[in-house]
Structure 1
């Protein structure tokens, strides 16, 4: 259901209850979608399947020996001088 912002503000508890029972509720400003109110259960379902940044980094491709050696060979100091 679409709610104008002012109506959503005035009926916030109703917007939340409908999000829990009927599904996502759209809030509009001047006729354009501005926000979607969803239930906590729906939010948890949406984010539960997303891997964390740590998971993504750990699951990346393995480094072969040549690449690992090249990374370790790099200078440890910054490659540019900075004047602060």
Structure 2
């Protein structure tokens, strides 16, 4: 564990203090609350990066060959129609 000094905007400090008192009954665990929030944010950002990375790898098996008019419909209507076709 490392001690450091951070400068918080007044409104953020007030919200953190209020949440800390509501959650722990005092401000003594402010560091714990900030660490919890940073950990959640870190996990959320990792999940978002993982989803963004997998976006280019999405595959949908249609179990049929698309006709040119179906391809045009796909372009106009989007993927939701394709998902309906494959079910």
Pair in the same fold by TM > 0.5: no
Give 1 or 2: higher helix fraction: 2
Structure whose residues are more often strand by fraction:
1
TM-score (norm 2): 0.31
Relative contact order, higher structure (CA 8 A, sep 6+): 1
TM-score, structure 1 as length reference: 0.32
